[in-house]
Structure 1
Amino acid sequence: MGNCRETSGDGGLKTENGAVYLRKKITLIRAISLTIGTIIGSGIFISPKGVLKNSGNVGVSLLIWVVSGVLSMCGALSYADLATSIKKSGGHYIYLLETLGPVPAFLRLWAEFVMIRPANIAVVTLAFGRYIIEPLFVPCNAPPSLVKLISCIGIAFVIALNCWSVSWSANLQTTFTILKLVAIGLIIIPGMIVLAEGRTENFQDAFDTSSLTMDRIPLAFYSGMFAYGGWFYITFVTEEVVNPERNIPITVIVSLIIVTICYLLTNVAYYTVLTTSEVLTSEAVAMSFAEQTLPQISSVISILVATSCFGALNGGIFASSRMLFAASREGHWPNLFSMIHIRRHTPLPALLLMMPLIFVMIGIGDLYGLLNFYSFSRWLFMGLVTIGLIIHRRKHPDLAHPFKVPLIIPIVFSTMSLFIVGTSLYSDPVNTGIGCLITLSGLPVYYLTIHKQRVPRCLRETFNLLTLKLQVLLEVIPQEIKTY
């Protein structure tokens, strides 16, 4: 270790004896910043509408926000258990591979990069585009085509930044985490002031059952759980976390407590100032709130919300590229995607792969349709991961678990995840059915990946030549030192 020489400081990648590998650079503070920064994105600024619309009333919607936080904590604690016993990066994919086998792991990977990741990023990017451009068109709504154009420019910039420099994207993530907490503070504080003045009329008949629609409650949970999505990203980069046995459990517990409190207070602030009809008709709930409470700086609120979305995009892309990196390393994806740029020290191929489908999803443009579209596969596989934890415990009772959760926690999370997924087939059969079919379309791809020798030799040689050419063009090489 004495002859380790550092690179240009690009965030954790160094060379030792000419080898390129990832170093442990994510401290506890950075881990908490990454987790909070990826959880708080567009969800709290767009999901209140989806939760309210599908829950039917204010009271049930607030309960859904609390229950979503508790369920997310159960999932996060289960993932922390897995992360401290299976010390590989890759999150969902790696845990399914190690507990349930290669087929569900590959289907999760396939769904992630064909559907879940592009749709998720498109939802956040569209929110970014709307909030960044909305102030220019008040009191009218911004043209959808312009929102999509700004969204495409924004996501292209984020991916370019992650391709260029790990340290720049990491520093930007910390800055945006602070800004998004400021944005939430500028919603909570005025809302609490108005509530203290006695404005409680919007909470009258909060649990009015006449508007309750039980068959749409799962879709309300989709919107609520979407806002908490991101607690698992720290497990995508396990190999880069300093002392993961200690820091990953602390990170998810602290982050989710802070976020749940912020989300509940933010929704109370929304409902104090805005009527249910105003929330349901608003294309940008935080903007509508700001126009009534802080009209002088409503444009500032909008820009802060846009930066919050931008920060979530940055953190999500940074982490999710590691899943593809890990899958390629395991042989379930072309090995080009486990390579790193020789000078920029970033997983360039994995990052570039995400762009085309993201642009397609942005073109679709329906935020809530996209949420329902990808949520089926996302929560199905999360439920399978926690089922895998239970099975793994039974199969390997002597395996060390530095952080061991009671089995009731993964049981609760698995049950709720699969219940929501099952009922969603009834609530929104079209989008969830499409999501199911796209997930299953990965089976023939898995067969070809595992049985490469059955692919015609001329195709294999062409593919290998293309890989070599792309490796030279992109200037990438495999990671050369084992980090797990």
Structure 2
Amino acid sequence: MGDQTEKLQLKREVGLMGAVSLIAGTMIGAGIFMTPQTVIYTIGSPGASLVVWACCGLLATLASFCYAELGTVIRESGGEYIYILRTSGPVVAFMLIFSSVLFVRPAGLAGMALGFAQYVVAPFYSDCPPPALLVKCVAAAAIILLATVNCINVRLSMSVQVFFMVAKVLSLAVIIIGGVVMLIRGHTESFQDSFQNTNVGINPIGIAFYQGLWSYDGWNNLNYVTEELKRPEVNLPRAIITAISLVTGLYVLVNVSYLTVMTPKELMSSSAVAVTWGNKVFGSWGWIMSVAAALSAFGSLNGTFFSGGRMCYVAAREGHMPDVLSMVHVHRLTPSPALIFTTAVSLLVLIPGDFQSIVNFFSFTAWFFYAITLSGLIYLKIRKPHLPRPYKVPIILPILVLIAAVFLVLAPIVDNPQIEFLYVSLFILSGAVIYIPFIHYKLCPGLLTKLTVFLQMFLEVAPGEKNL
């Protein structure tokens, strides 16, 4: 068994089409159907909300260009975690993995699952909000189903991704065409004095960006699976440019369509924007939009699962998580222990979770670590210019994105301090406290060894190996 164990590794099975679907398919999720009302409510005017959507797309594009360079310099899976480990050292990398595995990723999954569930049950409760317990049960069922698909087969989960990607783009195209038809018919009321009542303040702008960027989240997904990507030096930048330009264009047009069909007030008071839009445009066939939005969120959830399990897997391989999480299924070659663990934590986050606060705290933590990752790229550019770089960006790009990331982290705290942000910050910092005894000094290894052996037999897994 010794020789065989050494050779287990994740295969390079993701081509350019799969890569574009993984990024765009994860980005287009529940967000575009759930957050437009919060963006416009926070920023106060239709014109400013469209500016926020376009700026979020631009920021995601610039950040992903920086990530494309990082992904071709450090050609390992694991996204931010592996970049921070290689540039800022193990303590900061452990803080990321600790907060990411126990909060950021599961919160993202829980938020998407809630978005999916809300659209699934919306047609049955057209006159009143659906019961919270029912929404959470449907969300939990979706998480468990997708965890199973991802544990069974990589190819199957990529096929699911491509199918849902097509379904989502079609549903967004329907919304855009519907909006264009209404515009031609002269429904332009929302765009007259469109910047009136704009809330110009650090906090509203920061929170509006949090909500908008939640819809763009997933732009960095391909960097988690670099080792499974065919020809990463060519396909990584290509897939990023294609996917993010497509998504930004679709998002801005979809928001124009929402505002053409609904007044800003109707948009703000809607609990499921696409359903309200569908009811106004299609009448009794409005439920079709609910199905489309549910499919969209489901596909996004699948993409997040695919990449999220990989981060946990890479961290365990580097010794920052229990060994069993770095293991691969002997026959199916999927990182099933990492996926099972991510599922369990997501279900826990789902219990108390409410969509809005999940989004704000998710964005706050995510951009905190994006800022550290971008600092790492600036460090590599200045201190290690000799490293081979098949793809390069000018140094001004990471500096600009870093300034934006710092603004996003500090804006809501400076302008309107909330105690919850303090809790989240303490949680991130507690990673450093846990690192010293348990990772650096390796306390209580005996108990973990026995548990690892038991789980290894039970789950039929063996240690994975890097695929460089």
Q: TM-score, normalised by structure 2?
A: 0.96
Seen in structure 2, the aligned counterparts of structure 1 residues 185 and 16 have a Cα distance that, compared at 3 Å, is farther
Out of 124, 128, 131, the residue aligned to residue 140 of structure 1 is 128
Residue 455 of structure 2: aligned partner: 470
1:443 paired to 2:429: no
Moved more, 71-80 or 24-33: 24-33
Q: Distance in 2 between matches of 1:448 and 1:356?
A: 25
What RMSD over aligned residues (CA atoms) do the two structures have, in Å?
Answer: 1.6
Which letter maps to 1:414? L
Q: Give 1:145 shift.
A: 1.3
Seen in structure 2, the aligned counterparts of structure 1 residues 428 and 45 have a Cα distance that, compared at 3 Å, is farther
Residue 366 of structure 1: aligned partner: 354
Which letter maps to 1:483? N
Contact 1:82 1:389 in 2 (8 A): yes
- Matched positions, count: 465
Which letter maps to 2:36? P
Out of 375, 383, 392, the residue aligned to residue 387 of structure 1 is 375
Residue 163 of structure 2: aligned partner: 175
Seen in structure 2, the aligned counterparts of structure 1 residues 350 and 206 have a Cα distance that, compared at 3 Å, is same
Residue 302 of structure 1: aligned partner: 290
After superposition, give the CA deviation of every residue in 1:341-363 in whole Å (9 maximum; x if it has no partner). Answer: 11232111101111233123222
Residue 378 of structure 1: aligned partner: 366
Moved more, 272-281 or 255-264: 272-281
1:197 paired to 2:182: no
Q: Distance in 1 between matches of 2:33 and 2:420?
A: 23
Secondary structure of 1:477 counterpart: strand
Which letter maps to 1:479? G
Contact 1:128 1:310 in 2 (8 A): yes
Q: Distance in 2 between matches of 1:336 and 1:126?
A: 29
Residue 6 of structure 1: aligned partner: none
1:28 paired to 2:12: no
Residue 10 of structure 1: aligned partner: none
Contact 1:56 1:211 in 2 (8 A): yes
Q: Distance in 2 between matches of 1:255 and 1:290?
A: 26
Q: Give 1:18 shift.
A: 8.3
Which letter maps to 2:279? E
Q: Distance in 2 between matches of 1:240 and 1:40?
A: 22
Counterparts of 1:46-61 in structure 2, within 5 Å, are 46-61=34-49
Q: Give 1:210 shift.
A: 6.0
Contact 2:70 2:377 in 1 (8 A): yes
After superposition, give the CA deviation of every residue in 1:7-41 in whole Å (9 maximum; x if it has no partner). Answer: xxxxxxxx989832222111111111111101101
> Can you give the 5+ residue segments of structure 1 that lack an aligned partner in the other structure?
1-14
> Can you give the 5+ residue segments of structure 2 that lack an aligned partner in the other structure?
none
Residue 164 of structure 1: aligned partner: 152
Q: Give 1:212 shift.
A: 4.5
Q: Distance in 1 between matches of 2:72 and 2:432?
A: 30
Q: Give 1:332 shift.
A: 1.2
Q: Distance in 1 between matches of 2:17 and 2:292?
A: 22
Out of 328, 331, 339, the residue aligned to residue 319 of structure 2 is 331
Q: Give 1:449 shift.
A: 3.5
Contact 2:6 2:463 in 1 (8 A): no
Secondary structure of 2:8 counterpart: strand
Q: Give 1:165 shift.
A: 2.0
Counterparts of 1:4-43 in structure 2, within 5 Å, are 19-43=7-31
Q: Distance in 2 between matches of 1:71 and 1:17?
A: 43
Q: Distance in 2 between matches of 1:134 and 1:206?
A: 30
Moved more, 125-134 or 297-306: 297-306
Contact 1:121 1:313 in 2 (8 A): yes
Out of 448, 464, 468, the residue aligned to residue 479 of structure 1 is 464
Q: Distance in 1 between matches of 2:66 and 2:29?
A: 23
Secondary structure of 2:158 counterpart: helix
Counterparts of 1:405-444 in structure 2, within 5 Å, are 405-426=393-414, 427=416, 429-444=418-433
Residue 446 of structure 2: aligned partner: 461
Which letter maps to 1:324? C
After superposition, give the CA deviation of every residue in 1:349-403 in whole Å (9 maximum; x if it has no partner). Answer: 1011112331232222321111112221110110111111001111111111110
Residue 8 of structure 1: aligned partner: none
Q: TM-score, normalised by structure 1?
A: 0.93
Out of 93, 99, 119, the residue aligned to residue 87 of structure 2 is 99
Contact 1:55 1:214 in 2 (8 A): no
Out of 156, 173, 176, the residue aligned to residue 185 of structure 1 is 173
1:127 paired to 2:115: yes
Moved more, 308-317 or 419-428: 419-428
Contact 2:233 2:391 in 1 (8 A): yes
Residue 5 of structure 1: aligned partner: none
Residue 11 of structure 1: aligned partner: none
Q: Give 1:305 shift.
A: 0.8
Residue 321 of structure 1: aligned partner: 309
